Amino acid sequence: MSFRPAVWSALACALPVAWLHAQEHVHPRKKTSATAAVAASKPPGPAVLVNESRTPRTVEVTITAEPTLLSIVPGVKTTAYAYNGRVPGPTLEAYEGDRVIVHFHNRLPEPTTIHWHGMHLPAKFDGSPFYMVQPGESYDYEFMLEKGTAGTYWYHPHPHPFTGAQVAKGLFAPLIVRAHDDPLPKSITERLIVLSDNRFRADGSIDIADPSTPQGNLDVSNGREGNILFVNGQVMPTITIRSGEVQLWRVINASAARVYRLAIPGQTMLHVGNDGGLFEKPVEVKDIVIANSERVMLLVRGTGAPGSSTVLQTLPYDRYVAQTRPSDWNTPRDLFRLQYAKDAPVTPVAIPAVLRPIPAIDTALATRTRVFVMQGGFINGRLHDMNRVDETAKLGDVEIWQIENLVGMDHPFHLHGFQFQVIDRDGVPEPFTSWKDTINLPKHSTARFIVRLNDFPGLWMYHCHILDHEDHGMMGVLELK
């Protein structure tokens, strides 16, 4: 990657030589509109919801959840649950400052919701199980996108205790919030990469095991993993890139339990954003772990020769207890083919030294520290009860939450409604500040984060985001008042 001379000194120590070769050869490229840049990246990404509103700074869309017959696995028809007839569902795109109105229709044979994962919005629009939408009913979600919320999110159902089954049947989709002053060059091609996995029976039906069976018991313990890996609903698709081109990859892990460790053989990537969007400076990585429900933003440069190809892989990552670890856990899996166009190489674009300043929340502002212990399918020794409030907090308070994982497998901890900043992991300070809504707790580990519980009173969920664990009751309720 090349960089403008004015920003070279700020990034030279952080980036690999391979990313810096063309520094003295930077030539400004013609910038296209954000819409054009996104349109260029659509195949093979999910479709985009059409804005029905003609009011400025208003995005109004309709989403319908209903059973649909789809070819999820090539050559076989599967009865799935789908948003607007698609798996993954269509992407909701909007800008900071927009008012978002979603007309949701539930045509499923069971109750459901839409949870806007990672979004800061009123509790009645969060899509938690306190606001179920019954079969045949409709519900309007409405919220404002505040300044500073630009990032990669997703939406999915949250009907306790059936979240895992509804996601497995196909209800998950991307949500992208953009900034009008996005610091990345608008000429960068953007790729939306939704990772999921699933398991099917011989007749093509989705295999959701009965909990009383050995497979069902394993799913409850491990979290349900599928043997088929999908990228944007496709098996081993091809994504194109030109030699020298820099692409922005927005990656969403929509799997119920699978953790991905992403890598491109023989090259590095630049990690530029987490759940809540861009952070201050690019971080060079050879691979990156993305737990279920997390998102990452990566800058990837085409280092291969025209006409060549490589792959994006998920490398071995041991999130399991030894007794239930799959036999193939340590086998790398290919996710998609990265195909280089035969066109002549292009000059890499310049990347700013500072992407987005993120002031750290001062820990001295914290009014209290809460401790949450994850063990044996419980949080603080309790199973979730819809009629019980587990924690009470005052609106506007800043708090430190200490999450302790006492068991021998990973648990991702998700807080609804409020983004947070990780302070440290096992006593080691977080190397950079970013906005998160989910933090993965590796086996026998502890992490602390700081959160400002502002704007929206009400009942808020926190839970393990292994969906089988969440459905089993590894979840609690915070009342903010």
State the pLDDT at residue 380: 98
**Together in a domain, 165 and 273:** no
Tell me the whole-structure pTM to 2 decimals. 0.91
Q: Which of the listed residues 111, 145, 178 is the one where a domain comes to its end? A: 178
CATH of the domain at 242: 2.60.40.420
What is the number of domains present in the chain? Answer: 3
**Together in a domain, 330 and 225:** yes
**Together in a domain, 146 and 212:** no
Domain membership flag for residue 358:
no
At 286, the amino acid letter reads: K
Residues pairing with 261 in the sheet: 289
Report the DSSP pairing between strands 260-263 and 309-314: antiparallel
State the pLDDT at residue 46: 82
Given a cut of 70, the residues of the chain with pLDDT beneath it are 1-44
State the pLDDT at residue 276: 97
CA-to-CA dists, residue 465 to 155, 214, 338, angstroms = 14, 22, 30
State the pLDDT at residue 44: 60
Q: Which of the listed residues 178, 210, 227 is the one where a domain comes to its end? A: 178
Domain membership flag for residue 286:
yes
* pLDDT tens per residue across span 128-158: 999 999 999 999 999 999 999 999 999 999 9
Domain membership flag for residue 201:
yes
Structural domain that includes position 155: 36-178
Domain membership flag for residue 221:
yes
CB 166 within 8 A of CB 133: no
**Together in a domain, 292 and 428:** no
H-type alpha helices, 169-253:
214-222
State the pLDDT at residue 125: 98
Instruction: Compute the distance between CA of residue 381 and CA of residue 374 in angstroms, rounded to an integer.
Output: 8
**Together in a domain, 196 and 154:** no
For residue 44, cis peptide bond before it (omega within 30 degrees of 0): yes
Domain membership flag for residue 95:
yes
Domain membership flag for residue 276:
yes
For residue 109, cis peptide bond before it (omega within 30 degrees of 0): no
Reduced to 3 states (helix: H, G, I; strand: E, B; else coil), residue 91 is strand
Domain membership flag for residue 356:
no
**Together in a domain, 164 and 249:** no
Domain membership flag for residue 13:
no
Q: In what order do the strands lie in the sheet with 151-156?
A: 92-95, 173-178, 151-156, 115-117
State the pLDDT at residue 17: 35
117, two tokens? 């994962």
